[in-house]
Amino acid sequence: MSNKNFQIGLTTIQDLPKIDLHRHLEGSLRLQTLYEIALEYNLGLPVKNLDQLRPYVQVTDDPAHHEAFLRKFEVLRHFYRSPETIYRLAYEAVADAAADNIKYLELRFSPQALSRVRGFSLGDVTDWVTTAVQQASHDYDIDVGLIITLVRHDPISQAREVADVAFDRFGKGIVGLDLAGNEVKFPSTPFTPLFKEAKEVGMGITIHAGEWASAYGVREAIEELYADRIGHGIRAIENSRILRLVRERQVALEVCLTSNLQTGVVHSLAHHPLSDMLDLGIKATLNTDDPAVSNVTLTDEYEIALQTLQVSYPLLRQMVLNAAQAAFLPEEERGTLIARFEQWLPPAFSDNGHTPFP
């Protein structure tokens, strides 16, 4: 999708050091690897090649609607066949992020999604993912934190089990807690006690809200679920009071442009409210959401911001620094991350300028 040679000064978008705070492991699986797993385990999908597999696990000519988007994950959950496949998928997800020059990644996943079909324990799948991610982080020189995702349409009893797994491993690779799923049909309030506990133990909290449902979900996420960041959150633009709340609390929005188009949140990228949010002083960040499902990279998302939305380079740089400031890290490590990106990303480009990219 991307023209990775698109020039900014003396460099390209591909060369820019990046941060991705909102990326789902389950939406980051290599198509080639999925094809190999489908053949090895005889998953019953009527596919003889990669192109036949693609529409089952990737957005192609699907309607722009969140339910069509979510159906991909109903298929994807059948690929977590063994500890080895889960390890491989997690390792490759980090390797692919590093290949896009992402220097800091927060990768979120649902242990229940990885364990459901084969009956693996929640703790085991979490440990397999953590081990794979830590090894890939070392091999590819990328810093990675893991976020555990609770799902709105799962029973609250299961969410408690998943949250306990996250609490037990907080500080051992796990940095935060998330709530995802169909926000139109399933409210977030039953999960409030779990996020209160997460806040008390010091975990970072991000809540999917203001994506498919109204701006009021954003207020609920901040005031009742203790959100430090909002996954998507772009419908906050519909309510000035809620937008003011986001700005006053300095809550970061994890914006995912292509995903918003594919799920029908916006009808065209040219009308995405990102530019308006930046103009209003909202702490927006740019992310991929589900890069394999959407067939995008973070380079693609930066390119859309620069070319389609006409976001200036200084504002793009500010979004990267917003992400560094919103990272779920201890204060000292977060300060180091901010300083690294302030050094790597010059305030402005000139044809004679030096770009100190790693």
Sheet of strand 204-209, all strands in order from the earlier edge strand to the far edge: 18-24, 102-109, 143-151, 174-180, 204-209, 229-232, 252-255, 284-286
The answer to whether 36 is a known catalytic residue is no
Phi, psi of 120 (to 5 degrees): -65, 155
**Which one is catalytic: 26, 92, 106, 211?**
211
Treating both helix axes as pointing N-terminal to C-terminal, what angle do 156-169 and 122-140 enclose, rounded to 10 degrees?
40
Question: Beta-strand (E) ranges in 245-322?
Answer: 252-255, 284-286
Region label for 108, one of left (φ > 0), alpha (ψ between -120 and 50) or beta (otherwise): beta
Q: How far apart are CA 210 and CA 149, in angstroms?
A: 17
Determine the Cα–Cα distance for residues 142 and 129; give it in Å rounded to an integer: 16
Residue 280, Cβ density class (10 Å: 0-12 exposed, 13-18 middle, ≥19 buried): middle
Would you please indicate which residues are annotated as catalytic (active-site) residues? Answer: 211
